[in-house]
């Protein structure tokens, strides 16, 4: 507010001209929507036809920050690309979970909400990206994930915040989007609060771009790097299972 008042004092006849870009707003009724002046996205939902989706950039940044946890026996959903890409030689066994038996590389088949799906105290790390929101009984899923971790193991979890809904494979099971407090409360039911590290990725710029179907090559990377918890495109958590759990 001090910067705003200072700028207004400098140019009383044209107050908006001197404002920093982050503070300036166009007059009411004069917003130029440009390429976004449409009721359909500029690309496919999530933007894969235009390049790397914005949410995937955030997910991979989160995994890169936490690659030290991806080691030993690791479980991932769908395939093991993140497990091997970020864990590499530190991974001794890579398991793949899929909800149905039509995935030929799946080593475990079943629903995470079913306690019979995952073995107990089995994994050093579970990489669960953009999956929890597809499960109606999320508390049961979190409970089973905690149970499946070895004591000392780590859950690396991401969920969508501000997002379109998948119109393809997961259309009928895309049930939730989560704000950071929602994910935190889900995890605190099983993990010790001090062992949960929550973060969010996104701001109003990246949220608008992601909803519009833009991809990473379409946008300013410096603006994507700004994190504003009011507009979480991706919500992520690192949760540690204590040795007394």
User: DSSP labels for the chain?
Assistant: -HHHHHHHHH-TTSTTTTS-TTT--PPTT----GGG-SSS-SSSTTSTTTSSBHHHHHHHHHHHHTGGG--EEEEEES-SHHIIIIIGGGEEEEEEEESSTT-TT-SEES-TTSTTTS-TT-EEEEEEES-GGG-S-HHHHHHHHHHHEEEEEEEEEEEESS----SSTTTTT------HHHHHHHHHTTS-GGGEEEEEE--HHHHHHHHTT-BGGGS-HHHHT---TTS-SEEEEEEE--TT-
Same domain, 21 and 45: no
Domain harbouring 109, CATH code: 3.40.50.150
Same domain, 8 and 118: no
Q: For residue 78, tell me if it sits in a domain.
A: yes
Same domain, 226 and 117: yes
Q: For residue 245, tell me if it sits in a domain.
A: no
Q: For residue 105, tell me if it sits in a domain.
A: yes
Please identify every stretch of the chain with a pLDDT value under 70, giving residue numbers as ranges.
1-22, 245
- pLDDT for 18: 53
Q: Give this prediction's pTM.
A: 0.90
Domain count, the chain: 2
Same domain, 178 and 59: yes
Structural domain range at position 141: 41-240
Same domain, 8 and 61: no
């Amino acid at each position: 507010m001090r910067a705003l008042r200072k700028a207004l004092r400098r140019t009383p006849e044209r107050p908006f001209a001197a404002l920093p870009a982050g503070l300036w707003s166009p007059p009411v009724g004069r917003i130029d929507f440009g390429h976004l002046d449409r009721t359909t996205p500029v690309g496919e939902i999530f933007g894969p036809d235009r390049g790397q989706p914005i949410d995937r950039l955030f997910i991979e940044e989160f995994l890169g920050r936490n690659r030290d946890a991806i080691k030993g026996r690791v479980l991932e959903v769908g395939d093991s690309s993140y497990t091997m890409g970020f864990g590499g030689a530190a991974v001794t066994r890579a398991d793949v979970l899929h909800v149905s038996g039509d995935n030929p590389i799946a080593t475990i088949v079943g629903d995470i909400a079913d306690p019979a799906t995952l073995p107990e105290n089995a994994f050093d790390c579970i990489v669960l990206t953009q999956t929890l929101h597809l499960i109606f009984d999320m508390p049961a899923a979190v409970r089973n994930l905690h149970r499946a971790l070895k004591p000392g193991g780590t859950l690396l979890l991401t969920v969508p915040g501000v997002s379109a809904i998948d119109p393809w494979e997961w259309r009928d099971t895309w049930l939730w989007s989560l704000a950071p407090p929602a994910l935190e409360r889900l995890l605190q039911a099983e993990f010790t609060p001090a062992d949960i590290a929550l973060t969010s990725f996104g701001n109003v710029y990246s949220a608008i771009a992601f909803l519009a179907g833009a991809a990473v090559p379409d946008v300013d990377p410096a603006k994507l790097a700004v994190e504003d918890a009011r507009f979480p495109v991706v919500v992520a958590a690192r949760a540690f299972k204590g040795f007394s759990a």
